Each structure stands twice: as structure tokens, then as C-alpha cells.
Amino acid sequence: MDILAHLLPAGIAAHAPVLLVVIPLILAPIAALMPSGRIAWAISLLAAFLVAILALVLLGEVSQAGSVSYHLGGWAPPLGIEYRVDALNVPILLLVGFVGLLCTIYALPSVADEIEPGKQPMFYSAFLVCFTGLLGVTITGDAFNVFVFLEVSSLSTYALVAMGGGKDRRALTASYNYLILGTIGATFFVIGVGFLYMATGTLNMVDIARVLAEDGHSRVTEAAFAFIVVGLGLKAAMFPLHVWLPNAYAFAPNFVTAFLASTATKVAFYVLIRFLFSIFHPEVTFVAASFTWIFAVLGTVGMIVASAQAIFQTDPRRVLAYSSVAQVGYMMLGLGMGTKAGLSAGMLHLMNHAMMKGALFMALGAFALKFGVRSIASLNGLGRTMPVSASAFTISGLSLVGVPLTVGFTSKWYLILAALDRDWWWAVAALIASSLLALVYVGRMLMAIWMEEPPSHQGKAIAASTAPWAVVVPMSILALANVYFFFNADPLVHLANAAAEAVMGGR
Amino acid sequence: MSPHLILRVVSKLLIPIIVVFGFYVQFHGDFGPGGGFQAGVIVAVGVILYALIFGMEEARRAVPPAAVRYLMAAGVLLFAGVGVATLLMNGAGEPVNFLDYDALHPDQSHHTGQHYGILLIELGVLFTVSSVMLAIFYAFAGRIPDLPDEDW
Amino acid sequence: MLDILLERFNYIPIIILMMTGLYVVFATGNLVKRLVGLSLFQTSVFLLYITLAKVFGGQPPIIADAHGDDHGAAAAGHGAAEAVLYSNPLPHVLILTAIVVGVATLAVGLALVVRIREAYGSIEDEALNAADYSRDTGAAG
């Protein structure tokens, strides 16, 4: 860990928190002005690479110092805006940075295939703005700043999703519905922040927590809590508020789906954890009640219902999209236990899910480069036609089910342990039931890939081929990470435990 | 060719005043109400009024869409560039943080750096806001309508 | 009861606007009208923040003498400034940002509606659903 902190010269490392946000922000308009998509792609790659490095540096600094605080413009908090990195958000920064880097590599063939050349520079620019927004949401220590960055990332996401409209016009309506619900969510969040500001007179998260701990809660803060939970729930696609997600994921360009599925909802979920645990105290009566009666219950219902819905979908991307909603249910359940073990298991599942879904959507994108993937039947026999991509799909699909030897098993194991710790037998039963449902919907796709006849052209089977290296490399890294982190689970478990420790203290 | 003679004459008189007022709002912004957002919208209104009266073609000739696109990026870069400049200037003394305007000028007692800083920042905001407003207007107005004007 | 309402009179129009906006979003099938409702909803939140900032008897938060010719007087101005009651400027700044976000949302939304109109030839929700459902059965769900 010491090495990480000294990866960059001290003069630059001291500004790492702000550079993390500013580098993609500066490169976004430059990418927009580039004449060709390839140059814009190179610029995006540079941004994602630098961000990943800076995230590593911050990990090193946090593991030494506990937390890093950066005062924008030299104004000290609570008056000024503070960027704050601690053990809770450093895993999210790493996740966004590295998944962003892998997705950017993957973007080169995928975007060239799906987006018309004249629009590619703008497309990469919108991606960089979205990237900036997600990093900003994660790193900022100011409640209103969260709203601004959330909208920066959301607005560019709407545009990115709508870019799928060239292929399938339903991307446009999907993006429109996402815009309406996303904006309502953001506005609810900002109402909640307004109520908190009314009650505490400050916007700095640490300061709000301090004032709330000193002055206690009132009706105003309870209302703020309700608005914030609903608003962030919409952004994170928590179970009954997820209706925008399946269509947005199904019709967006493949690259956008892979990136969003593994970052956007995760970041919103992180903000939820931040508000629930470090601003509102989990031992306050109404917060504790919401954990048991809202998060745990809705999480459980969500993981069963959304998994069941996934079974009845015909488009593989919609299957995976509904499965994402179910996975958010697992995280809600972990969070709803209100214990350190539960939160840590939820965080672990959050990171693992990003790896699985990233690889799955990348593999679907690889299939789509060669064949149109519109229904599960179009996956028929691809195990023989595109063996590498099909293997990556299989490994991460099994991880999604939670088969041993994959990370999916690790995080479900920790969730079950945490549930047993609280004597929540019904939660264990629901976890197993949901995993069995996952076995059904993943199994259907795997059966089609490996058991059916390969696609043929004029009576002859199409020769086996591999996707371009820019697809295979990031996809394989993510798929193998699913196995690697089962055998070497300590780094991720350590990160998740440290995160839970940071917000819940010794409890 | 000139069915709206009064509109054309009046708007020709008004447009310079609108733009000058926009600049007043801009440069008086650090002493009174105003600033880049408001000024940017006012300046853009000048161009949009020109486009409404004299047609999109004329407006595109006066303010080309390519220039709008460059200005949009330049504004963001100016804003972020001031922040980066403050980072680079920390060799002079104490290390300073992103957007710490005091670093921009050695005279600390009168906060001259703060004045320079906010002036540059607001200039970046002016560029971006006015060009974004124009870009939105061009994007919507540039579409070919389903109904010709005569059929309304 | 009336006292409670009158004391909080500023919230009444805000709540009415907020509910009207949300209702329009959910009730109408027209995509443009839905954006109008969304804007109304956002505007009510702007008003909520602005009314937060009002301090009864407060002055605009501009220190008048700070830029006088004589800097000694300016220092005195700073001292005198502390005695004056100011309104809170922070919510205005926040809302300026939120307004910009609102404008951007509206622009993106309208751009999407334009594209939807070009792709489907309609901006009514029911017509859009009908177009997608009749085209292929794969869109179910």
C-alpha cells in the first residue's frame, strides 16, 4: 500500500482528489473538437488511464491516513466545498476508474460499429462528461455538489442511451423515460437536501452529520430522509423504482450498457450508503425502522420478483437488465441488515457485480459485433462459433448465479453469514431461491450457447472466429477477475470491511 | 423582400444595445448582481433575435455553428484552465489548491488575485453559456419543419 | 389551524406547484406536456430554496463600502458590516446551478422528443406503445 501512495510525485499526489475529476472534465471538450473518432478514443483512454492511476494513489493515501480531504479554492469546510476520500468511497473510485478504463478499451471496435463516424467525437465527449460526473458524485463531500454531479452524469447518460436510436428507435423512448424518472429522482434528492439544509444550516456532509448528532432529529429531517431515499432509490434502480432500467440497458449502445451496468447504479447506491450511514445514524429509530421494513423487505421482494421477470424475457440484454435489478436487491438486503457484516457483504457484492455484469455485457457486445443479438435464440451455438467470448460469458454467468469458484459465490456466502448473524432465516431462504431463479435464466442462455447448433450460412456452419483484441482483452480481464478474486478474496473483502468500518465505527 | 420593415429596423437598433447590456452584466458581475450565466443568455438572445428577424441563413453567416462549437469547448477549458494555472503557480510560495485565485497575483492584501480569478472564470462561463444557448437554438431551429410556414 | 397555514404561507404555492407538476408528468400522454410538468415540478423546488434564504429584515448580502477609495474606511466598513442583518445568499447560488441543470434537462428532453417525432411520427405515449408492440412481439414486457 505504501508503494501506491508514492506512485506519483508528492506535488501531484497532493492534488489527486481534484485531478481525478478535472482530467476527464478538461479532456471532454478537447475530445469533442477532434476530427475523428479514433483520436477522441485515444483521448478518452488517456483520461481513463490517468483516473485509474490517481484512484490507486488515493487508495494508498487512504490506507495510510484514514481519510483525505481536499479544499477547493483553499476555502476550508464547512464553508467551502470539500472533496473527501475515505475507506467507503475509495473502492467505488477504484471501481469506476478501472471499469472505465476497461470499457474505454472495449469502446474502440464497439463504437466504430454502432455509432456513425461524424458523431463519434461527440459520443466520446459525452462519455467523458458522464465519467466526470460519476467520479465527482463519489468524491465530493458536499451534499449539493452531489446533486450537481449526479445531473452531470445523468444528462450525458440520457444522450449516450439515445445514441442507440440509430439502430433501434426504441432507444429514444427508453432514454426519454429514463430522463423523466431520473430527473424526478434528482429533484426529490434536492428537496431532501433542502430540508437538511433547513434543519442544519450546512451542506458539508461531515458537518450535517455533526449537527444532526448534536441537535437530534425532527420532522424536517425525517422528511429529508424520505425524499433522499426515494430520490436516490430512483437513480440506483432499487426494486419498485427500477422501471426505467430494463429498456435503457436493452437499447443503449453495447459499450454504454457495459459501462453503465457496472458503474452508474453502483455510484448512486454508494451515495445512498453515505447518506444512510454517515449522515443519518443507523441507530436513530426511524432510520433503523427503514432498514428493517423498507430496505430488507423491498430488497428481498426485489431479488425474487426481478429474477422471476428476468426468466420471462426474450432479449438477452433485458434478461441481464432485470438481473441487475435483482442484484441491487441483494445489496439492499445487505444494507438493510444494519450490521457491519451486512454492509460489508453488500459492498462486496457491489464490487463483484460490477465485474460480472461488465464481462457479461461485453460478451453480448462481442456477439453483437458479428451477429445481431435480438433474442436468446440468436445465441444458439455461439460456443462453437465464438469460443473465447462464449467462455467469458459462461464464467461470468456462473458467477452471477453464485457457483463456487467464482466471486458470486464469495459475496453470497458473506451475505448469508451476515443474515444468519441476525437470525434472518427468511433472508437466507430468499437468497437461495433467487440464486435458483438466476440459475434458470443464466442456464437458458448457456444452453443456447453450448447445446444448440451453431449459426450457418447457406447450409455451412460459419467458421469459428474471435472478436477484435480490444474486445477480448478487457472482457477476459473482467471474466478472469471473477475467478481470481474467489481464490484471492482478501483484497476485496478487506476493502469492503474497511468501508463498513469507516461508516459504522467499532459497532 | 422586406415584409417586416418595422421589426427589422427596431431589431437592428436593439441588438447592439442587448449585447452591450450583456457585457455590462458580465463585467459588473463581481461588484453587483450579474455574472457569466445571465450575461451569456443575454448575449445569446441578441443573436437569436437576429436569427428570428433576418432568418437562420443570415444568423449562421454572422455566427457560424463551427465557431459556436469551438467557443463552447473554449469556455470550459478556460474555466478549468484557471484552476490548473493556480495548481501550477504553487512554486511561488505555499502550495495552493485548485481554483485558489489568490495565487494568480502576488498582491495578497487587496485580493487582486481573487478579482482576476473570478473575471476569467466568468469569462469562461460567458463563452460556454452563450454558445450552448446558441447551439441549442441552432439545433432546434435548423430542423426542417413538417409544416411549411404558409400552412399554419 | 389558520395560524399555522398563514405562518407558512410561502409553502402553500410551492406545494400546489409541486403537486401540479408531478400530476401533469404522470397524467398526460403527450411527451412535450410531460416535460412541461417536469419543469413546473423543478421550478417549485427552486422556489422552496429561495424562500429558505429570506431573513425578515435582512439586507441584500453585498458589503457596500468594501471597495471605497480609502482603504482605512474599507476596513471600517468590514467592521460595520457585521452589525447588519443579511439575507442568506447561498440558496440563490445553489438555485442558479439548479436552474442551469433544469435548462439542460429540458433541452435534452426536447431534443429527444424531436427525434422521437421523426422516428415514430407521433409524440403521444399510446401511439408510441402501439407502434412498438405491433411491429414485433419481442418488445413485450
Q: Where are the domains of chain C?
A: 2-60+88-139
Give the pLDDT of residue A171: 92
Paired strand residues for A69: A84
Q: A85 — phi, psi (to 5°)?
A: -115, 125
Paired strand residues for C44: none
Residues of B with CB under 8 A from a CB of A: 69-70, 72-74, 76-77, 80-81, 83-84, 87, 90, 95-102
Q: A140 — phi, psi (to 5°)?
A: -75, 150
Is A33 in contact with B70 (Cβ distance < 8 A)?
yes
Q: Could you tell me which chain A residue has the CA closest to the CA of B86?
A: A73
CB B51 within 8 A of CB B143: no
> For residue range C73-122, what is the model confidence (pLDDT) as tens digits?
444 444 444 567 778 888 888 998 899 999 999 999 999 999 998 888 88
CA distance B1 to chain C (A): 31
Q: Is A30 on the interface with B (CB under 8 A)?
A: yes
First-last CA distance in chain C: 48
Indicate the SS3 state at residue A461.
strand
State the total domains in chain B: 1
Question: Which chain C residues are closer than 8 Å to B121 by Cβ?
Answer: none
Contacts of C7-13 spanning 24+ positions with Cβ under 8 A: C10/C47, C10/C51, C10/C54, C11/C48, C11/C51, C13/C47
Neighbors of chain B with 3 or more C-beta pairs under 8 Å: A, C
Q: Once rounded to an integer, what is the mean pLDDT over residues A276-286?
A: 87
Q: Could you tell me which chain A residue has the CA closest to the CA of B67?
A: A33
Give the pLDDT of residue C72: 43
Question: Which chain A residues are closer than 8 Å to B104 by Cβ?
Answer: none
**Residue A234 pLDDT greater than 80, yes or no:** yes
Question: Which chain C residues are closer than 8 Å to A159 by Cβ?
Answer: 108
H-run or E-run covering A82:
strand A82-86
Q: Is C139 on the interface with B (CB under 8 A)?
A: no
- % of chain A surpassing 90 pLDDT: 65
Give the pLDDT of residue B13: 93
- A and B: number of Cβ contacts within 8 A: 49
CA distance C52 to chain B (A): 19
CB A368 within 8 A of CB A111: no
CB atoms within 10 A of CB A507: 11
> For residue range A122-150, what is the model confidence (pLDDT) as tens digits?
999 999 999 999 999 999 999 999 999 99
Q: Is C108 on the interface with B (CB under 8 A)?
A: no
Of A147, A172, A318, the CB nearest to C115: A172
**Residue C71 pLDDT greater than 60, yes or no:** no
Q: Radius of gyration of chain B from Cα atoms?
A: 20
Indicate the SS3 state at residue A85.
strand
Least-confidence region, from A324-338, B93-107, C69-83: C69-83
Q: A86 — phi, psi (to 5°)?
A: -140, -170
Of A170, A194, A246, the CB nearest to C132: A170
What is the spatial distance between Cα C71 and Cα A30, in angstroms, rounded to a whole number?
A: 44
Q: Is A28 on the interface with B (CB under 8 A)?
A: yes
What is the spatial distance between Cα A333 and Cα C38, in angstroms, rounded to a whole number?
A: 32
Q: A36 — phi, psi (to 5°)?
A: -130, 160
Residue A85 pLDDT level (bands cut at 50, 70, 90): very high
CB B51 within 8 A of CB B8: no
Is C108 in contact with A170 (Cβ distance < 8 A)?
no
**Residue C31 pLDDT greater than 80, yes or no:** yes
Neighbors of chain A with 3 or more C-beta pairs under 8 Å: B, C
Is A155 in contact with C94 (Cβ distance < 8 A)?
no
Of B72, B80, B95, the CB nearest to A26: B80
Helix spans in A7-119 (H): 10-13, 16-33, 37-65, 90-114
What is the spatial distance between Cα A504 and Cα A280, in angstroms, rounded to a whole number?
A: 11
CA distance B66 to chain A (A): 10
First-last CA distance in chain A: 26
Residue A77 pLDDT level (bands cut at 50, 70, 90): confident
- % of chain C surpassing 90 pLDDT: 38
What is the spatial distance between Cα A356 and Cα A326, in angstroms, rounded to a whole number?
A: 14
Give the pLDDT of residue C74: 41
What is the spatial distance between Cα A353 and Cα A91, in angstroms, rounded to a whole number?
A: 13
> For residue range A262-275, what is the model confidence (pLDDT) as tens digits?
999 999 999 999 99
CB A47 within 8 A of CB A113: no
Of A144, A169, A374, the CB nearest to C138: A374
Q: Could you tell me which chain C residue has the CA closest to the CA of A142?
A: C94
Question: Which chain B residues are closer than 8 Å to A73 by Cβ?
Answer: 97-101
Of B76, B81, B97, the CB nearest to A73: B97
Q: Which three cell numbers stand for residue A346?
A: 453488500
What is the spatial distance between Cα B50 and Cα B69, in angstroms, rounded to a whole number?
A: 19
Give the pLDDT of residue C140: 43
Q: Once rounded to an integer, what is the mean pLDDT over residues A78-104?
A: 92
Task: Give A141's DSSP letter.
Answer: -
Residue B70 pLDDT level (bands cut at 50, 70, 90): very high
**Residue A420 pLDDT greater than 70, yes or no:** yes
Give the pLDDT of residue A297: 92
Give the pLDDT of residue C79: 45
Give the pLDDT of residue A437: 94
What is the spatial distance between Cα C93 and Cα B35, in angstroms, rounded to a whole number?
A: 11
Q: Is C101 on the interface with B (CB under 8 A)?
A: no
What is the spatial distance between Cα C22 and Cα C40, in angstroms, rounded to a whole number?
A: 8
Q: Is B143 on the interface with C (CB under 8 A)?
A: yes
Q: Once rounded to an integer, what is the mean pLDDT over residues A229-247?
A: 92
What is the spatial distance between Cα A365 and Cα A108, in angstroms, rounded to a whole number?
A: 12
CB atoms within 10 A of CB A436: 12
Q: Which three cell numbers stand for residue A450?
A: 453450448
For residue B39, what are the domain limits? Answer: 5-151
Is C111 in contact with B139 (Cβ distance < 8 A)?
yes
**Residue B92 pLDDT greater than 60, yes or no:** no
What is the spatial distance between Cα C112 and Cα A221, in angstroms, rounded to a whole number?
A: 37
Question: Which chain C residues are closer than 8 Å to A147 by Cβ?
Answer: 98, 101
Is B95 in contact with A72 (Cβ distance < 8 A)?
no
CB A291 within 8 A of CB A334: no
Paired strand residues for C107: none
Is C114 in contact with B143 (Cβ distance < 8 A)?
yes
Q: How many helices (H) and strands (E) does chain A have?
A: 22, 4
**Residue B120 pLDDT greater than 80, yes or no:** yes
Q: Once rounded to an integer, what is the mean pLDDT over residues A407-420?
A: 93
Q: Once rounded to an integer, what is the mean pLDDT over residues A192-207?
A: 91
CA angle A296, A302, A305 (to 5 degrees): 140
**Residue type for A100, please?**
G
Is A29 in contact with B73 (Cβ distance < 8 A)?
yes
Residue A73 pLDDT level (bands cut at 50, 70, 90): confident
Q: Once rounded to an integer, what is the mean pLDDT over residues C33-60?
A: 88
> For residue range A464-481, what is the model confidence (pLDDT) as tens digits?
777 788 899 999 999 999
CA angle A319, A320, A321 (to 5 degrees): 90
Q: Once rounded to an integer, what is the mean pLDDT over residues A329-334?
A: 93
Write the burial class of residue C133 (CB in 10 Å: 0-12 exposed, 13-18 middle, 19+ buried).
exposed
CB A302 within 8 A of CB A233: no
Q: Could you tell me which chain C residue has the CA closest to the CA of B109?
A: C71
User: pTM of the entire structure?
Assistant: 0.91
How far, in Å, are A364, C109, C140 from residue C127 at the CA level?
31, 18, 16
Given its phi and psi angles, is residue A336 left (phi above 0), alpha (psi -120 to 50 degrees) or beta? alpha
Which one is predicted more confidently, A463 or A71?
Answer: A71
Residue B147 pLDDT level (bands cut at 50, 70, 90): low
Question: Which chain C residues are closer than 8 Å to A186 by Cβ?
Answer: 101
**What are the DSSP calls for A381-436, one per residue?**
THHHHSHHHHHHHHHHHHHHHT-TTSHHHHHHHHHHHHHHHTT-HHHHHHHHHHHH
Least-confidence region, from A331-345, B91-105, B120-134: B91-105
Q: Is C62 on the interface with B (CB under 8 A)?
A: yes
**Residue C126 pLDDT greater than 90, yes or no:** no
Instruction: Indicate the average pLDDT of chain B.
Output: 83
State whether CATH 3.40.50.300 applies to domain C2-60+88-139. no
Closest CA to A86 of A336, A278, A232, A353: A278
CB B101 within 8 A of CB B116: yes
Give the pLDDT of residue A333: 93
Q: Which three cell numbers stand for residue A234?
A: 430512483
Residues ≥6 apart with Cβ < 8 Å to A2: A60, A64
Question: Which chain A residues are closer than 8 Å to B102 by Cβ?
Answer: 74
Is B37 in contact with C114 (Cβ distance < 8 A)?
no
Is B140 in contact with C62 (Cβ distance < 8 A)?
no
